[in-house]
A and B are shown apart, each in its own frame.
Chain A
Amino acid sequence: MPEAIATNQTILVVGGGISGMSAALEAAECGKQVILVEKNPSVGGRVAQLYKYFPKLCHPKCGLEINLRRTKANKNLRLMTLTEVTAVEGEPGNYTVTLKKHPRYVNENCTACGACARAVEAEFDDEYNFGLGKRKGAYLPHNLAYPQRYVIDPRILGTPDAEKAKAACKYDAIDLDMQPEEIKLTVGAIIWATGWKPYDANKIQPYGYDRYPNVITSVEFERMADPFGPTGGRILRPSDGKEAKDVAFIQCAGSRDRNHLKHCSRICCMATLKQTTYLREKYGDDYKASIYYIDIRAIDRIDDFHRRVKEDPNTRFIKSKVASITEDKETRNPILHGVDIEGYHRYSNPHDLVVLAIGMEPSVPADAFPAKVRFNEEGFIVPDEANGAIFAAGCSEDALDVNRAVQSATASALHAIQVINRVAGTEG
């Protein structure tokens, strides 16, 4: 890639998920120079890991593809993958940003033919599938990865696998001598869109995510439901690989809890309602879904979706936060214990599979943030004069669904454009 050239009229967008891509495209399509940096080898972020969006149940790949086409078509937008921001100094209209670019060990000659992956033997947990499957030491992050270029996992460097990959490449695309680079850029405004990560389910001790194989998270369930996912779209119990037809969903797993995340993660109710429709899609009438909840927060327009799911006779709502989970040693069925608030009935319900509707926390913790901005106590960036020209977009700002994240991204692009216009002297 040629050295990125930036000036104080350039907008830096950090994070290439749906929010970062949207913000970068809005600004670039307004004629501003934009540099989009992404720490992973490909853009798309969490949205690329979804099987379907709520409430329309369309496929995220479609929306993503439109954005990718816009990205490819726009000459104002430069994309840098495998790049992280390590420091931000300066003031609005004149920031010096230090970037660290990690080597991909694959250059632009790559045609994504996959010969290197076939040659390499080492396998690692597949991050794209939350470790549910394996991928090779030379890999394409996922089908729709952009750039469509393979990556060499640094862990195979110095092993015979690295040489095998190099030898297998007919296009001289593998360069094992690539070094990490430090790049300093001048930019005028920064849009921060580093998004969210699922809360660590191991911390919710009574639910036994670390102990019981048939307790999984909602993001893992999402990957299972995807026909291109690790199970080919089948909902399988990790303990024995059998199809799970009696599935329990536990809401507020890690959210709205002073021991974990204090905030409501906002998406989990809708995600669960959506995921019950996956069961109907796969099994017809031959399934049972049980939703354990405190209260269902299907916000504004999407309450219709909630009502539709409620009418489904195969889906049952139990008003109770599950207190603990144990496991039937023989069947390895998780058993949910708690008290149903409607009538105060004590229950111990076995299920084939338990899905924790896991909460959302900011990807970049406040104490590791490379610039001085204000955070709320949950670690999301608060809009504040003191942030200068650093604007949060999407889930860096709050726990948001895709729809709201894109709205937030557009708003942040407008803020950044105003700064650039001021710098350029086009505004009074």
Chain B
Amino acid sequence: MTDYNQQMIEKYRENFLKEVEHNVEEGEWVKMCMQCGVCSGSCPFGPYWEHPPQELFMMIRAGKRDEVLKSDSMWMCTSCYNCIARCPRGLPITHIIHGLATYAKRLGLAPKEQPTAKFAQLFWDNLTKTGRVNELKLGLALYFKVGEGLKTALENKDLGLAMLKAKRMNPFELVGGHKCKDIKGLHAILAKAEEIEERKIGMKA
């Protein structure tokens, strides 16, 4: 639990819907859900979610803060946009789901060992280091930190070799790797963006 989480609990005591509306991207749409269930039925990953989208929306309205934010459901979204395309009320469901995931992470409530959450962090760290995604390192990190190490790596060896052969992956990326021209500039931009964001959401004065 972070201070920020405590701060939000006190600010929105008992009104989780309002908290979502104020802090989650597109959160103001949650109250528009009419519980028809088309999103859950249309989701290709539907059977694997603990709480499908329309259930999450109902839980938000019912004030089940911990159950929603600590759930791994919103980390199951693959951004296929089927739910948005079919929602009869035009809710931007994919965006709300990602918004909830982001908010949960910011509060420090996101499940620690959730594979897609872990991978998202790996991807971000990999990308921001040099300004370019280092596919070899990202792939290895995926196998050894998220997957089952050597076993996952071996399972994917044919794919890796094929990528090497097709010159889609460079083995020398393992040492250093390519980067963008102005890495200092990129880091400055990201730091500034983070500062603006933190001020906007009230984590910093």
Cβ contacts B69-99/A at 8 Å (1 or 0 each): 0000000000000000111111000000000
Verify B88–A339 contact, CB threshold 8 A.
Answer: no
| Chain B CB within 8 A of A259 CB | yes
Chain B interface: which size bin?
20 to 34
Interface core residue of B39, B42, B52, B87 (most chain A CB under 10 Å): B42
| Chain B CB within 8 A of A246 CB | no
Verify A321–B38 contact, CB threshold 8 A.
Answer: yes
A263 to B146, CA, bound (A): 48
Verify A346–B46 contact, CB threshold 8 A.
Answer: yes
Q: Min CB distance, B77 to chain A, in Å?
A: 16
A256 to B40, CA, bound (A): 18
Verify B34–A339 contact, CB threshold 8 A.
Answer: no
A44 to B35, CA, bound (A): 39
Verify A346–B34 contact, CB threshold 8 A.
Answer: no
Question: CB within 8 Å of B: which of A295-347?
Answer: 320-324, 337-341, 344, 346
Verify A323–B35 contact, CB threshold 8 A.
Answer: no
A290 to B27, CA, bound (A): 35
Q: Residues of B contacting A341 with CB < 8 Å?
A: 35-37, 54
Q: Min CB distance, B67 to chain A, in Å?
A: 13
Q: Indicate which residue in B41, B85, B86, B89 contacts A339 across the interface (CB closer than 8 Å).
A: B41
Q: Residues of B contacting A257 with CB < 8 Å?
A: 88
Interface core residue of B39, B41, B85, B88 (most chain A CB under 10 Å): B41
Q: Residues of B contacting A320 with CB < 8 Å?
A: 36-37, 41
Q: Min CB distance, A205 to chain B, in Å?
A: 9
A324 to B40, CA, bound (A): 11
A321 to B37, CA, bound (A): 6
Chain A interface: which size bin?
20 to 34
Verify B40–A339 contact, CB threshold 8 A.
Answer: yes
A40 to B37, CA, bound (A): 41
Q: Indicate which residue in A256, A259, A338 contacts B37 across the interface (CB closer than 8 Å).
A: A338
| Chain B CB within 8 A of A219 CB | no
Q: Min CB distance, B82 to chain A, in Å?
A: 9
Cβ contacts B25-55/A at 8 Å (1 or 0 each): 0000000001111111110001100011011
| Chain B CB within 8 A of A50 CB | no
Verify A337–B55 contact, CB threshold 8 A.
Answer: no
Q: Indicate which residue in B47, B85, B87, B89 contacts A346 across the interface (CB closer than 8 Å).
A: B47
Q: Residues of B contacting A340 with CB < 8 Å?
A: 37
Q: Residues of B contacting A82 with CB < 8 Å?
A: none
Verify A344–B55 contact, CB threshold 8 A.
Answer: yes
Chain B: CB-nearest residue to A323: B41
Question: CB within 8 Å of B: which of A106-132?
Answer: none
Question: CB within 8 Å of B: which of A77-117?
Answer: none
A370 to B41, CA, bound (A): 43
Q: Residues of B contacting A69 with CB < 8 Å?
A: none
Q: Decide: A324 near B41, CB < 8 A? Known: A339-B54, A346-B47.
A: yes
Q: Residues of A contacting B46 with CB < 8 Å?
A: 339, 346
Verify B36–A294 contact, CB threshold 8 A.
Answer: yes
Verify B88–A323 contact, CB threshold 8 A.
Answer: no
| Chain B CB within 8 A of A206 CB | yes
- What are 9 pairs between A and B in contact, CB < 8 Å? A252-B88, A258-B90, A294-B35, A321-B41, A323-B38, A338-B38, A339-B37, A340-B37, A341-B37
- Given A321-B41, A324-B42, A346-B40, 18 more pairs with CB closer than 8 A: A206-B42, A206-B86, A256-B88, A258-B88, A258-B89, A258-B90, A259-B90, A260-B88, A320-B37, A321-B38, A321-B88, A323-B37, A323-B86, A338-B38, A338-B41, A339-B52, A340-B37, A344-B51
Q: What 4 pairs between A and B have smallest CB-CB spacing? A: A323-B41, A321-B36, A338-B41, A257-B88
